[in-house]
Every structure is written in C-alpha cells, then in structure tokens.
C-alpha cells in the first residue's frame, strides 16, 4: 500500500513544516520519488534529511502496523507502533546528518506515526 506511506509522509510533512523548514514538503516529495530507486540509507544527508526520515518512518510504520495486525486481532496503537519504529531506527543506526535533537526526532516520529496510521485506518475503516 504505497499510497498509505505517501499519504502519511505528506500529512506529516504538512504538520511538521515551520517557518524554519518551509521546504519540508518538497523534501518529502524528493524522498518519496527516490525511495524506490535506492535502499533505505543508514544516514540521511542534507538537503532532504528530514524529508527522508519522514518517508522512512512512514514506511516502517506501514510495515509494523501490518505486522501487528497479522499477529493479533487487537488494533495497533500509535504508542506500540512508535516504540517499534524507534527500535528499528536505533538498530539501523539511522540518523539524519546533522544529528537531530532527540526531542525533535521523537516529535517527527510521533507525528509521522500518527499520520500514517490515520491514512491506513482511513483506507481500511474496519481496522480501527
């Protein structure tokens, strides 16, 4: 379900855009276009570092969400998904360059998880 990843990443970019990061939506579009052409990088480089992180998190959310749903009848909570996404990112040592403040990284992950889950649940209303 590529469109869930795209919808989640785009919605997260809209929420995360600030006067200091007005190009974030464009960076996400570049990362979305590039994600099929290359593997997930271990380190994100500027100028699309945050955009790449958002797309990578949205992709991980979709994988984790489907994994949780396939293993149990219970719905995947945002907290459970976010926890697993953080674990996978930490295992991959995937960090943007330059490194983000941990609070900012968590904020990006939380918003991207929320928006990607919203997109997934909108596509499959019976899963909520």
Asked whether the predicted pLDDT for residue 17 surpasses 50, the reply is yes
Instruction: Tell me whether strands 43-44 and 95-96 are parallel, antiparallel or unpaired.
Output: parallel
pTM of the model: 0.81
pLDDT exceeds cutoff 90 at 25: yes
CA–CA dist 38, 126 (Å, integer): 34
Q: What is the CA radius of gyration of the chain?
A: 14
Tell me the pLDDT tens digit for each residue of 69-107. Answer: 888 767 778 999 999 999 998 888 766 656 778 898 899
Query: pLDDT digit string (tens) for 27-38?
Result: 999 888 887 665
| pLDDT exceeds cutoff 50 at 42 | no
């Amino acid at each position: 379900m590529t469109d869930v990843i795209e919808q989640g990443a785009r919605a997260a970019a809209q929420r995360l855009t600030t006067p200091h990061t007005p190009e974030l939506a464009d960076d996400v579009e570049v990362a979305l276009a590039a994600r099929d052409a290359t593997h997930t990088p271990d380190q994100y480089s500027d100028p699309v570092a945050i955009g790449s992180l958002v797309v990578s998190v949205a992709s991980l959310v979709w994988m984790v969400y489907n994994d949780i749903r396939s293993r149990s009848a219970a719905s995947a909570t945002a907290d459970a998904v976010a926890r697993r996404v953080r674990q996978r990112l930490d295992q991959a040592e995937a960090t943007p360059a330059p490194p983000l403040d941990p609070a900012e990284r968590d904020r990006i992950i939380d918003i991207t998880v929320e928006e990607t889950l919203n997109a997934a649940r909108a596509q499959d209303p019976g899963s909520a």
